[in-house]
Every structure is written in structure tokens, then in C-alpha cells.
Amino acid sequence: MGVYKDLRKKLIYEGLIFNDLKVISFWGVDRHRNKMYKCQCLKCGRFTYVRSKAIISKNIHSCGHCANSKKRRKGQTRKPIKRIESGYKFNEFKVIKYIGRDSKDKEDLYLVVCSCGNMLNMRARAIINKKINNV
């Protein structure tokens, strides 16, 4: 069993388990002079190469194949929202109609009217969570 020292003087050794990965051996140095380790995913058994910085900071959780298969990528963890019917009331607001999708955030936008008569464009999440955030 080999023991390797990182630049930060923390030990990385064969058999070390962090999150869902197990260190198999020291692989070498990449083109950016980062120390690389061959690791095995404990979920699916695949091998991957991980920088020592990621091992020490525990920024990496699995081989990447497991993460992609469960769609853990940013923005895909949210549950889809059903369309809100016109006439839906919350706080002092009432939904008038569906406008379309926001090109930046890819969220549904609705035209709502306040009890004072002002009209606003609001995101679906703000309406459902009953937060008053105008676009």
C-alpha cells in the first residue's frame, strides 16, 4: 500500500475512501502539474482519474457516470411546474394569463394583477411559492 503526500501535506493513500470513490493508485501528473489518482466508483465500479485537490476538498462525489444517470446536473434537480390556470389568486395577486417562457432562466412567465390595479410579469416559481418577486 503506497502513501502519497499532497502539496498541502495531507496524506492520500491507496484504499482511501472519500464520498463514493476509492483511491486505487497514484496515476501521475496532468499537463497542469496537478497530481492525479486512479479511483474506483463504489456505486458502479467504473474507474476515473481525480486531482488530489478534489480528494482533499471532497468536491467530487462519484465517477460522473452515476451523477449523469440520475440527472444531478445543475438546473435539473427541480421538479417541473404545471401550468397555472388564469384566475388563480395568491396574496393580493390574481393570474390573468400565461405570457411565455423567460429566455434567460427558462421559466414560465405569467401576467398578474395586484389588488391596487398594477400589472406585473411574474415567474411561476414565485407564484407557487407565494413570493412576490417581479421580473
Phi, psi of 32 (to 5 degrees): -100, 10
Please indicate whether residue 30 or residue 58 has the higher confidence score (pLDDT): 30
DSSP strand pairing (119-123 vs 3-5)? unpaired
Residue 92 host element (H or E) = none
DSSP assignments along 59-81, one per residue: ---S-SHHHHHTT-STTSSSPPP
Phi, psi of 65 (to 5 degrees): -70, -40
Band (pLDDT 50/70/90 cuts) for residue 17 is confident
Query: What spatial distance separates the first Cα and last Cα of the chain, rounded to whole Å?
Result: 58
Kindly report, residue by residue over 106-127, the tens digit of the pLDDT.
Answer: 788 889 998 888 888 888 877 7
**Distance in angstroms (rounded) separating the CA atoms of residues 126 and 135:** 10
Q: Is the pLDDT of residue 7 over 70?
A: no
- 26 within 8 A of 34, measured Cβ to Cβ: no
pTM (two decimals): 0.45
Question: Pseudo-torsion of CA 10, 14, 17, 18, nearest 10°?
Answer: 40
Q: Is the pLDDT of residue 73 over 80?
A: no
